[in-house]
A and B are shown apart, each in its own frame.
Chain A
Amino acid sequence: MSLTARRARYVVKRLLQSIPIVIAIVVLNFFLLQLAEGDAVDVLAGEAGSATPEYMAELRAKFGLDQPLSIQLAVYLKNVMFLDLGYSFRHEMPVSELIADRVLPTVLLMVSTITIAVGFGVFLGLVAAMGLNTWRDTAISIFALITYATPLFWVGLMLIVVFSLNLGWFPTSGMENFAMFYEGWDRVWDIAHHLVLPTITLSLFYLALYTRLMRASMLEQAGQDYVTTARAKGVTENRIMFVHVLRNALLPVVTMAGVQVGALIGGSVIVESVFAWPGLGMLAFEALFSRDLNLLLGIFLLSALLVVAVNLVVDIVYSTLDPRIEVN
């Protein structure tokens, strides 16, 4: 079988395997959310301030919340099967529409963050490892330590204070300037302009991780026997570093990146709040406080799908980088 055919088979197999996983996650999430005190009706009633028990019971019946749990779960699962994620009573919109609105900004933020964090992290780790124990190494290590130790929200606020308020280089919040009605490339430019500060904030933390990981990984690989062999062959130091060592050193970084994509959605809640970025993190945060369980379940489902997909991509990338890992 050719490599492509084997890959295709592998992808199909993995997708099939992920179906039971996703269902299990849905069921687990459903029960997990039931453990939380209160439901949407409590919140609605609380906000209205004067709801009678009869009215609350009526609302519960309307939302289907008076049914036994197992029935609620079965109904939910059936709906999910037909790609119907339910209705958000809070926003008075179908969940799928709400999520569809918010998913792009989040993905945009995630992709740019991962790209910058991994890209710069690998670069800095490489520079640090190549100049081991020089001032460059020390400077990079200190930088990594500081960014790793600083809380995300504080970095975000400081960036706003310095670059938006004092220098006026970047907008303070939001994803685009609706008032200008930009179109085409002007709009892309506008969104990119808004994207800078949130991305920097979110990637600084992860950047530190990748820098340290890459540095350690480079140093470990540089001590391996095959490096001595390459030297014994008369290969130049540059080739040894950038071809022999680098490729081997990237493997743990790829693994880590795959694991962290899932965590990124959680981490983005803070950044999205600070920069008023209209993403899923913000939506999840609001949904949690209004006990909008349908919406939360929808968001959880989407994250689960995202993580499953990213893991698959990482495994395939990994098998390309490391021939010892076979896909079959």
Chain B
Amino acid sequence: MTQLLDIKGLDIALPANSQRPLAVSGMDLQLSTNEIVCVVGESGSGKSLTARAIMGLLPAPHVRVASGEILFNGEDLVKVSDDRLRALRGSEISMIFQEPMTALNPVMTIGVQIDEVFRFHQKMPSKERRARALQLLHDVQLPDPEQALKAYPHELSGGQRQRAMIAMALALDPKILIADEPTTALDVTTQAQVLKLIKEMQETHGTGVLFITHDFGVVADIADRVCVMQNGLVVETGTRDQVLRHPEHPYTKALIGAVPDLMPRPARPRSDETVLKVNALEKTYRSGGGLFGGKGREVHAADDVTFDLARGETLGIVGESGSGKSTVARCIVRLNDAEAGEILLDGVDLRPLGRAAMRPHRSKIQMVFQDPFASLNPRTRVGKIIAQGPIMYGATQQDAKARTLELLDIVGLDARAYDRYPHEFSGGQRQRIGIARALALEPDILVADEPVSALDVSIQAQILTLLDDIRERMNLSMVFITHDLRVAAQVCDRLAVMQRGKVIEVGPTAQVFADPQAEYTRQLLAAVPGKDWFSKPDAPKVVAAAG
């Protein structure tokens, strides 16, 4: 192993009036051939900016390297000319990004975009370029390389796009591959495949990989060495085993402690009282077609979905994107209209009710949304956001205000939040506001649609605890939508696994984890990153038995 990259005392300066003067300060990091170094940290830790600094892709002139060296084979990348940097980028050092949809140009074919890498670095006849591009797409295991060459990004799935990105990055056999959260936007089974691919490619080419991630599961699966960052500082570096097994810095300990266990929570007695019963729910999305016919596309988002929810229990609906889990949630709350089936709440079928008839039932079933940034009106004060519901249902201003203050307290926010606007709060705090808003109408059922997937792992743990606590205190029943089996294991009493609009398995969480019946459930469980690392040592290895 020879050293490829040596970062010494790197400082990255932020614009004058930012929260802190340096995004990254005094960073040291080494990367050698044929190793994978994971840089882990929560949002705002400076991990992505470090990656960009190596590529010379910082958003200049606002953000720039203030001091320090980035030595690539002895050449300081901070000081080299723009032309030299451009020559290195894509040939010696290349990069893949988080969101493969936006990272590819939507109006150019994959073939053209791969071809650019060859064209701008080497003189090569176009026939040879094409042959090499084809070979690359073949190497990253795209199903039909010929077709993929001619395809536009939107014609590929998320996983396929990321494979194409990897092909592009590896086109000229670079010495360093920088991967900036390359699997965060992917489904768990796809993520497992892409991680495997990156590892394989790294091994065959002897590439040094700098892998940026927030997910300790991913770290456990692929890292050789780990570098933990907090607020721009490297707090701990070491081999994977050192850092994961024997973390020294309290922050590392806290982060690893916050990774949800893949051990299902202990089973609780189930109440006999059923509060919600969903029977043979159907929802189809149609697109295309029109006045003069023409076959549009049909997607069966909910296909014969049946489940019930007992008082006080949390039912998890798990599945990958496109499985229909969010559609089901939205149909239950009547944000979307299902075409057939029953939604029985206290014996009343909500599905066919009109707007007015639905109103008295609305307060009983409330929703917490995924994106705490988009789901709160940026022009309305927090107090009003929460109090609006009760006022609409006839509460007086004073009562609504008292209730709101009480709720703010319950979700762990200061009473001063009442007169603030949502943008003044962090993601986790906003999600607390969202929860308080949902609770304001004193619902019987809370439907939470991926309530923690936009949050950092340490915040996730807090919100999950809060939700559990509230469910306990208010005797709520909860439908909890998630794609993350770790999260599901933490909060759900029972699980319904969905795939392509169908519920393929329902059962108590522990049972589903220990003895999955459906093949797809087994795949999902096997794909959870780092599954063998973060189980309590004294607990039986349920997952190992399943895989």
Using a CB–CB cutoff of 8 Å, the interface residues on chain A facing chain B are 13, 16-17, 224-226, 228-236, 239, 243-244, 247-248, 321-324, 328
Stretch at the interface among B101-109, B223-231, B233-241: B101-109
**Interface pairs A-B: 6 shortest CB-CB:** A234-B90, A234-B89, A233-B90, A225-B102, A323-B152, A226-B105
Least Cβ distance of B287 to chain A in Å?
11
Does B395 interact with chain A (Cβ within 8 Å)?
no
Please name all residues of chain B whose beta carbon is closer than 8 Å to the beta carbon of A248 when the two chains form the complex.
Answer: 105-107
A308 to B208, CA, bound (A): 58
Decide: B103 and A229 in contact? CB cutoff 8 A: yes
Give chain A nearest CB distance to B113 CB in angstroms: 8
Docked-complex contact B291 and A17, CB < 8 angstroms: yes
Most B CB contacts (10 A, CB to CB) among A225, A236, A247 go to: A225
Q: How far is the CA of A225 from the CA of B161 in the complex (A)?
A: 14
Residues of B within 8 A of A229 (CB): 95, 97, 103-105, 165
In chain B, positions 106-159 with a C-beta closer than 8 Å to chain A are 106-108, 116-117, 120-121, 152, 154-155
Are B97's CB and A228's CB within 8 A?
A: yes
The reply to whether A239 and B90 form a contact with Cβ atoms under 8 Å apart is no
Residue of B nearest to A224 (CB): B102
Knowing A17-B291, A225-B97, say if A235 contacts B120 (CB, 8 Å).
yes
- In the assembled complex, the Cα of A248 lies from the Cα of B121 at a distance in Å of 25
B294 near A226 (CB under 8 angstroms)? no
Say yes or no: A239 contacts B292, CB within 8 Å: no
Q: Besides the contacts A232-B90, A323-B154, what 14 more A-B pairs have beta carbons closer than 8 Å? A: A13-B292, A13-B294, A224-B102, A225-B103, A226-B103, A226-B106, A228-B57, A230-B105, A234-B120, A235-B120, A322-B106, A323-B107, A323-B152, A324-B152
Asked whether A239 and B116 contact (CB < 8 A) given A229-B104, A234-B88, the answer is yes
**Chain B residues numbered 383-435 whose CB sits less than 8 Å from any CB in chain A:** none
Taking the closest CB of chain B, its distance from the CB of A235, in whole angstroms, is 5
Residues A228 and B103 in contact, CB atoms below 8 Å apart: yes
User: Cβ of B89 and Cβ of A233 under 8 Å apart?
Assistant: yes
Nearest neighbor of B107 in chain A, beta-carbon distance: A247
Cβ-defined contact, B107 with A321, below 8 A: yes
B57's partner among A231, A235, A239, A244 (CB-CB below 8 A) is A231
Enumerate chain A residues within 8 angstroms of B104, measured Cβ to Cβ: 226, 229
Given the complex, which residues of A lie within 8 Å of B87, measured CB to CB? 234
CB-defined contacts of A233 to chain B, threshold 8 Å: 89-90, 94, 116-117, 120, 168
Interface residue from B89, B102, B117, B121 paired with A231 (Cβ < 8 Å): B89
Q: Is B99 engaged at the interface, CB distance under 8 Å to the other chain?
A: yes
Is B91 at the interface (CB under 8 A from chain A)?
Answer: yes
List 24 contacting pairs A-B, 8 Å CB cutoff, sorted by A: A13-B294, A225-B97, A225-B102, A226-B104, A226-B106, A228-B57, A229-B95, A229-B97, A230-B105, A232-B55, A232-B94, A233-B94, A233-B116, A233-B117, A234-B86, A234-B90, A234-B121, A236-B86, A239-B116, A244-B108, A247-B107, A321-B107, A322-B107, A324-B152
Q: Contacting A235 at CB < 8 Å: which of B116, B155, B165?
A: B116
Q: Does B360 sit within 8 A of A, measured CB to CB?
A: no
- Name the A residues within 8 Å of B99 (CB-CB): 225
B116 engages A230 (CB within 8 Å)? yes
- Cα separation A144 to B234 with both chains bound (whole Å): 50
For A239, what are the chain B residues with a Cβ–Cβ distance below 8 Å?
116, 120
- Chain A contacts for B155, CB-based, 8 A: 323
Contact of B266 with A by CB under 8 A: no
Please tell me if B540 contacts chain A, counting CB pairs below 8 Å: no
Tell me what chain B mostly uses at the interface: helix, strand, loop, or mixed: loop
- Please give me the residue from chain B that is nearest to A250 by CB atom: B107
Report the nearest B residue to A225, measured CB to CB.
B102
- The smallest beta-carbon distance between B77 and chain A, in angstroms, is 13
A324 to B106, CA, bound (A): 8
Residues 338-357 (chain B) with a chain A CB within 8 angstroms: none
Bound CA–CA A127/B23 (angstroms): 33
**B294 partner residues in chain A, CB cutoff 8 A:** 13, 328
CA distance A161 to B99 in the complex (A): 58
**Main SS of the interface on chain A?**
helix
- How many residue pairs at the A-B interface have CB separations less than 8 Å? 80
The smallest beta-carbon distance between A101 and chain B, in angstroms, is 36
Measured CA separation A226–B108 after assembly (Å): 11
Select from chain A the residue with minimum beta-carbon distance to B151: A323
Distance between B423 CB and nearest chain A CB, rounded to angstroms: 20
B537 contacts chain A at the CB level, 8 A cutoff: no
Cα separation A321 to B108 with both chains bound (whole Å): 10
CB of B269 within 8 A of chain A? no
Beta-carbon contact of B292 and A17 below 8 Å: yes
Q: Which residues of B contact A247 (CB under 8 A)?
A: 107-108
Bound Cα distance from A225 to B97, whole angstroms: 9
Chain B residues whose CB sits within 8 angstroms of the CB of A322 once the complex forms: 106-107
- With a cutoff of 8 Å between Cβ atoms, the chain A residues found around residue B154 in the complex are 323-324
Determine if A232 and B89 form an interchain contact, defined as CB atoms under 8 angstroms apart. yes
Which chain A residues lie closer than 8 Å to B250 at the CB level?
none
Of listed A16, A234, A244, A247, residue having the most chain B CB within 10 A: A234
Shortest beta-carbon distance from A77 to chain B in Å: 21
The yes or no answer to B74 lying at the interface (CB within 8 A) is no
Quick one: CB contact mask for B450-479 with A, threshold 8 Å, 1 for yes?
A: 000000000000000000000000000000
Of all chain B residues, the one with the shortest Cβ separation from A12 is: B292
For the complex formed, measure the closest distance between the CB of B84 and the CB atoms of chain A, giving whole angstroms: 11
Bound form: Cα–Cα A236–B108 in Å: 17
Q: Please measure, in the bound complex, the distance between the C-alpha atom of A244 and the C-alpha atom of B57, giving whole angstroms.
A: 17
CB distance from B166 to the nearest CB of A (A): 12
Distance in Å: Cβ of A94 to nearest Cβ of chain B: 34
- Report the bound CA distance from A229 to B120 in whole Å: 14
Q: Complex Cα distance A226/B90, Å?
A: 14
Q: In the assembled complex, which residues on chain B have CB atoms less than 8 Å from the CB atom of A321?
A: 107
A230 to chain B, nearest CB (A): 7
CB distance from B110 to the nearest CB of A (A): 11
- B38-71 interface bits toward A, Cβ cutoff 8 Å, 1 = contact, 0 = none: 0000000000000000010100000000000000
Residues of chain B contacted by A17 (CB below 8 angstroms): 291-292
Name the residue in A226, A231, A328 with the highest tally of chain B Cβ atoms < 10 Å from its Cβ.
A226
A17 closest partner in B (C-beta): B291
CB distance from A223 to the nearest CB of B (A): 9
Which residues of A have CB within 8 Å of B57? 228, 231-232
Contact bitstring B289-318, A, C-beta under 8 A = 1, else 0: 001101000000000000000000000000
Would you give the shortest CB distance from A144 to chain B, in whole angstroms?
Answer: 26
Minimum C-beta distance from B290 to chain A (A): 8
> Inside 8 A of A230's CB, which chain B residues have their CB?
105, 116
**Contact between B116 and A226, CB atoms less than 8 A apart:** no
Nearest-CB residue, chain B, relative to A321: B107
Smallest beta-carbon distance B114→chain A, Å? 9
Report A-chain residues with C-beta under 8 Å of the C-beta of B86. 234, 236
- Decide if A328 touches B103 in the complex (CB within 8 Å): no
* Alpha-carbon distance between A181 and B55 when the two chains are bound, in angstroms: 69
Residue of B nearest to A13 (CB): B292
A236–B103 Cα gap in the complex (Å)? 17
Return A108 CB to nearest CB of chain B, in Å: 33
In the complex, what residues of A have CB within 8 A of residue B288's CB?
Answer: 328
List the A residue with the shortest CB-CB distance to B178. A232
The reply to whether A234 and B91 form a contact with Cβ atoms under 8 Å apart is yes
CA distance in complex: A16, B120 (Å): 48
Q: How far is the CB of B280 from chain A (nearest CB, A)?
A: 33
Closest residue of chain A to B90, judged by CB?
A: A234
